[in-house]
Structure 1
Amino acid sequence: AVLLLDEPLGALDFKLRKEMQVELSTLHQELGLTFIMVTHDQEEALSLSDRIAVMRGGKIEQIGTP
């Protein structure tokens, strides 16, 4: 299964954002879900990701592990 997330934590305050990061990580581990997540927050991307793709103008510029 694949879960698509577009800025899922963008409107949350710091405390709730951290809590939701834990929840998303738990879902990933317990259910084996693959997430494709869009975010402009580099810290968030680094803390939640196994692989990261950096895009510009709709094209992948870089892809790799955090």
Structure 2
Amino acid sequence: MRAKGFRSAVIAAALSVVLCVGMLAGTTFAWFTDTVTSAGNIIAAGSLEAGLFYAEGWNGEDTAW
């Protein structure tokens, strides 16, 4: 009885490994064979001005954010 349980555990583990390797290979294949075309896009440099506003006090009704 103990050998049968061990055998099924080994078979289940082997099938899990084969399934994971197959999914990894399929994902990698799909990733490297995918094609996308995009027209009219422009890459441009710009500037961004950002600042912080620190407020002290209670957030009440007459607080203007």
TM-score by length of 1: 0.30
Point out the structure with the larger strand share: 1
Point out the structure with the larger helix share: 2
Higher gyration radius (CA): 2
